[in-house]
Amino acid sequence: MPAKVTEPASEFATIDRWDGGVGWVPHPEETMQRASHALATDEGVWVVDPVDADGIDDLIAEFGEVRGVVVLSNHHLRDAPAVAARHDVPVYLPARMTGVADRVDGPVGRIENGATLGAYELIEVAHSDSDFWQEWALSDGETLVCSESVGGAPYFTVDDERLGIMPMRRLSPPRDALGDLEPERVFSGHGAGVQTEATPALEEALRTSRRRFPRALLAHGRDQLGTVTAALRT
Protein backbone atom coordinates (compact mmCIF):
# COMPACT_ATOMS: atom_id res chain seq x y z
CA MET A 1 0.00 0.00 0.00
CA PRO A 2 1.61 3.32 -1.02
CA ALA A 3 1.77 6.09 1.56
CA LYS A 4 0.76 8.66 -1.06
CA VAL A 5 -0.16 8.34 -4.71
CA THR A 6 1.31 11.13 -6.83
CA GLU A 7 -0.35 10.28 -10.17
CA PRO A 8 -3.57 12.14 -11.11
CA ALA A 9 -6.72 10.30 -10.10
CA SER A 10 -9.02 8.99 -12.80
CA GLU A 11 -11.70 8.05 -10.27
CA PHE A 12 -12.62 8.58 -6.62
CA ALA A 13 -14.62 7.09 -3.78
CA THR A 14 -17.48 9.19 -2.40
CA ILE A 15 -17.57 9.50 1.40
CA ASP A 16 -19.33 11.56 4.06
CA ARG A 17 -22.44 12.44 2.04
CA TRP A 18 -25.10 14.43 3.93
CA ASP A 19 -27.64 17.14 3.11
CA GLY A 20 -25.02 19.85 3.46
CA GLY A 21 -22.29 18.46 1.28
CA VAL A 22 -20.10 15.54 0.36
CA GLY A 23 -16.57 14.23 0.62
CA TRP A 24 -14.35 12.18 -1.62
CA VAL A 25 -11.12 10.17 -1.52
CA PRO A 26 -9.37 9.97 -4.91
CA HIS A 27 -6.86 7.29 -3.86
CA PRO A 28 -8.50 4.95 -1.31
CA GLU A 29 -5.53 2.60 -1.57
CA GLU A 30 -3.01 5.07 -0.14
CA THR A 31 -2.15 5.06 3.56
CA MET A 32 -2.88 8.79 3.87
CA GLN A 33 -6.40 8.42 2.47
CA ARG A 34 -6.43 12.12 1.61
CA ALA A 35 -10.03 13.30 1.84
CA SER A 36 -11.63 16.47 0.48
CA HIS A 37 -15.03 18.05 1.08
CA ALA A 38 -17.57 20.33 -0.57
CA LEU A 39 -19.66 22.34 1.90
CA ALA A 40 -22.96 23.81 0.71
CA THR A 41 -23.79 27.22 2.20
CA ASP A 42 -26.06 30.15 1.39
CA GLU A 43 -23.03 31.79 -0.26
CA GLY A 44 -22.33 28.81 -2.49
CA VAL A 45 -20.09 25.78 -2.18
CA TRP A 46 -16.79 25.94 -0.31
CA VAL A 47 -14.35 23.25 -1.43
CA VAL A 48 -11.99 22.22 1.38
CA ASP A 49 -8.46 20.79 0.99
CA PRO A 50 -9.19 19.33 -2.46
CA VAL A 51 -7.35 16.50 -4.14
CA ASP A 52 -8.41 16.63 -7.78
CA ALA A 53 -9.92 13.73 -9.71
CA ASP A 54 -11.84 13.20 -12.91
CA GLY A 55 -15.52 13.82 -12.25
CA ILE A 56 -15.37 15.78 -9.00
CA ASP A 57 -16.81 18.90 -10.66
CA ASP A 58 -20.00 16.97 -11.36
CA LEU A 59 -20.06 15.76 -7.76
CA ILE A 60 -19.62 19.29 -6.41
CA ALA A 61 -22.22 20.70 -8.81
CA GLU A 62 -24.93 18.68 -7.05
CA PHE A 63 -24.66 21.25 -4.22
CA GLY A 64 -24.37 24.47 -6.17
CA GLU A 65 -21.79 26.83 -7.61
CA VAL A 66 -18.32 26.95 -6.13
CA ARG A 67 -17.79 30.08 -4.01
CA GLY A 68 -14.17 29.43 -3.08
CA VAL A 69 -11.51 26.85 -2.29
CA VAL A 70 -10.27 26.69 1.31
CA VAL A 71 -6.97 25.30 2.60
CA LEU A 72 -7.03 24.40 6.30
CA SER A 73 -3.45 23.17 6.77
CA ASN A 74 -0.11 24.41 5.56
CA HIS A 75 0.43 20.81 4.42
CA HIS A 76 -2.85 20.61 2.48
CA LEU A 77 -2.44 22.88 -0.51
CA ARG A 78 -2.89 19.75 -2.58
CA ASP A 79 -4.71 20.60 -5.84
CA ALA A 80 -6.42 23.74 -4.50
CA PRO A 81 -4.92 26.08 -7.14
CA ALA A 82 -6.05 23.87 -10.03
CA VAL A 83 -9.58 23.44 -8.67
CA ALA A 84 -9.87 27.16 -7.92
CA ALA A 85 -8.65 28.12 -11.38
CA ARG A 86 -11.15 25.81 -13.04
CA HIS A 87 -14.01 27.46 -11.14
CA ASP A 88 -12.55 30.98 -11.43
CA VAL A 89 -12.49 31.56 -7.67
CA PRO A 90 -9.71 32.43 -5.19
CA VAL A 91 -7.85 30.06 -2.92
CA TYR A 92 -8.67 31.15 0.63
CA LEU A 93 -6.08 30.77 3.39
CA PRO A 94 -6.28 31.53 7.11
CA ALA A 95 -4.81 34.96 7.73
CA ARG A 96 -2.06 33.58 9.97
CA MET A 97 -1.03 30.79 7.59
CA THR A 98 2.48 31.27 6.21
CA GLY A 99 4.53 29.51 3.57
CA VAL A 100 1.62 28.67 1.27
CA ALA A 101 0.44 31.79 -0.58
CA ASP A 102 3.57 31.99 -2.71
CA ARG A 103 2.81 28.51 -4.06
CA VAL A 104 -0.59 29.60 -5.42
CA ASP A 105 -0.60 30.74 -9.02
CA GLY A 106 -3.78 32.78 -8.86
CA PRO A 107 -5.81 35.03 -6.53
CA VAL A 108 -5.55 34.40 -2.79
CA GLY A 109 -8.05 35.46 -0.15
CA ARG A 110 -7.43 35.59 3.59
CA ILE A 111 -9.75 34.55 6.42
CA GLU A 112 -9.35 35.74 10.00
CA ASN A 113 -9.76 33.39 12.94
CA GLY A 114 -13.41 33.45 13.98
CA ALA A 115 -14.61 34.66 10.58
CA THR A 116 -17.29 32.68 8.79
CA LEU A 117 -17.66 31.05 5.40
CA GLY A 118 -21.40 30.80 5.13
CA ALA A 119 -22.27 29.43 8.57
CA TYR A 120 -18.85 27.83 9.10
CA GLU A 121 -16.54 29.49 11.61
CA LEU A 122 -12.78 29.25 11.13
CA ILE A 123 -11.14 27.75 14.22
CA GLU A 124 -7.40 27.73 14.81
CA VAL A 125 -6.32 24.24 15.87
CA ALA A 126 -2.53 24.59 16.02
CA HIS A 127 -0.02 27.20 14.97
CA SER A 128 3.76 27.21 15.13
CA ASP A 129 5.73 30.29 14.22
CA SER A 130 7.63 28.17 11.73
CA ASP A 131 5.99 26.44 8.78
CA PHE A 132 6.11 23.09 10.59
CA TRP A 133 2.49 22.83 11.77
CA GLN A 134 -0.32 25.28 11.05
CA GLU A 135 -3.82 23.88 11.16
CA TRP A 136 -7.43 25.08 11.25
CA ALA A 137 -10.93 23.60 11.28
CA LEU A 138 -14.41 24.72 10.21
CA SER A 139 -17.55 24.33 12.30
CA ASP A 140 -21.16 25.43 11.87
CA GLY A 141 -22.22 23.91 15.19
CA GLU A 142 -23.46 20.70 13.61
CA THR A 143 -20.68 19.80 11.17
CA LEU A 144 -17.02 19.92 12.13
CA VAL A 145 -14.45 19.70 9.34
CA CYS A 146 -10.96 18.98 10.64
CA SER A 147 -7.82 18.98 8.57
CA GLU A 148 -4.97 16.96 10.04
CA SER A 149 -5.03 16.18 13.75
CA VAL A 150 -8.34 14.30 13.91
CA GLY A 151 -9.26 11.66 11.34
CA GLY A 152 -10.73 8.34 10.42
CA ALA A 153 -7.94 6.87 8.29
CA PRO A 154 -6.81 3.49 9.68
CA TYR A 155 -3.43 4.77 10.83
CA PHE A 156 -5.17 7.34 13.06
CA THR A 157 -7.17 4.85 15.14
CA VAL A 158 -6.46 2.14 17.69
CA ASP A 159 -8.68 -0.22 19.66
CA ASP A 160 -12.34 0.55 18.90
CA GLU A 161 -11.87 4.23 18.08
CA ARG A 162 -14.09 5.57 15.32
CA LEU A 163 -12.06 8.79 15.24
CA GLY A 164 -8.45 9.04 16.23
CA ILE A 165 -5.69 11.56 16.67
CA MET A 166 -2.83 11.46 14.18
CA PRO A 167 0.03 9.52 15.85
CA MET A 168 2.46 12.43 15.71
CA ARG A 169 -0.15 14.67 17.39
CA ARG A 170 -1.27 12.26 20.14
CA LEU A 171 0.92 13.80 22.82
CA SER A 172 -0.50 17.27 22.08
CA PRO A 173 -4.12 16.70 21.03
CA PRO A 174 -6.21 19.80 20.15
CA ARG A 175 -8.34 19.74 23.28
CA ASP A 176 -8.41 23.51 23.74
CA ALA A 177 -9.53 24.13 20.16
CA LEU A 178 -12.05 21.32 19.74
CA GLY A 179 -12.89 20.02 23.21
CA ASP A 180 -15.96 22.22 23.79
CA LEU A 181 -17.61 21.43 20.45
CA GLU A 182 -20.62 19.12 20.20
CA PRO A 183 -20.88 18.25 16.49
CA GLU A 184 -23.40 15.90 14.95
CA ARG A 185 -20.83 14.87 12.36
CA VAL A 186 -17.05 15.09 12.14
CA PHE A 187 -15.12 15.00 8.87
CA SER A 188 -11.42 15.06 8.24
CA GLY A 189 -8.74 15.57 5.64
CA HIS A 190 -7.74 11.93 6.12
CA GLY A 191 -10.25 9.09 5.81
CA ALA A 192 -14.00 8.91 6.23
CA GLY A 193 -15.65 10.80 9.05
CA VAL A 194 -18.43 9.86 11.46
CA GLN A 195 -22.07 10.90 11.28
CA THR A 196 -23.53 9.01 14.25
CA GLU A 197 -22.65 9.78 17.87
CA ALA A 198 -19.94 12.10 16.60
CA THR A 199 -19.53 14.10 19.80
CA PRO A 200 -18.75 11.02 21.95
CA ALA A 201 -16.32 9.81 19.27
CA LEU A 202 -14.54 13.17 19.26
CA GLU A 203 -14.51 13.38 23.06
CA GLU A 204 -13.02 9.89 23.35
CA ALA A 205 -10.35 10.63 20.75
CA LEU A 206 -9.26 13.78 22.58
CA ARG A 207 -9.53 12.29 26.07
CA THR A 208 -7.58 9.08 25.42
CA SER A 209 -5.08 10.41 22.89
CA ARG A 210 -2.06 10.49 25.20
CA ARG A 211 -2.92 7.29 27.05
CA ARG A 212 -3.18 5.37 23.82
CA PHE A 213 -0.05 6.88 22.29
CA PRO A 214 2.14 3.80 22.95
CA ARG A 215 -0.37 1.53 21.21
CA ALA A 216 -0.72 3.97 18.32
CA LEU A 217 3.04 4.22 17.96
CA LEU A 218 3.43 0.44 17.99
CA ALA A 219 0.57 -0.12 15.54
CA HIS A 220 1.04 2.82 13.20
CA GLY A 221 4.44 4.38 13.80
CA ARG A 222 5.86 3.01 10.57
CA ASP A 223 2.83 4.18 8.58
CA GLN A 224 3.11 7.65 10.14
CA LEU A 225 6.78 7.84 9.23
CA GLY A 226 5.93 6.77 5.69
CA THR A 227 3.27 9.45 5.30
CA VAL A 228 5.57 12.18 6.60
CA THR A 229 8.37 11.06 4.30
CA ALA A 230 6.00 10.97 1.31
CA ALA A 231 4.64 14.42 2.13
CA LEU A 232 8.12 15.93 2.35
CA ARG A 233 9.16 14.35 -0.94
CA THR A 234 6.18 15.73 -2.84
- The yes-or-no verdict on residue 54 having pLDDT over 80 is yes
User: Looking at the chain, which runs of residues are DSSP E strands?
Assistant: 13-18, 21-25, 36-41, 44-48, 66-70, 91-94, 108-111, 116-117, 120-127, 134-139, 143-145, 150-151, 164-165, 185-187
pLDDT range class, residue 132, cuts 50, 70, 90: confident
Q: What is the pTM of this model?
A: 0.94
The pLDDT value recorded for residue 27 is 87
pLDDT in tens, 148-191: 999 999 999 999 999 999 999 999 999 999 999 999 999 999 99
- Domain 27-233 fold: Metallo-beta-lactamase; Chain A (3.60.15)
What is the average pLDDT across 13-25? 97
The residue extents of the domains of the chain are: 27-233
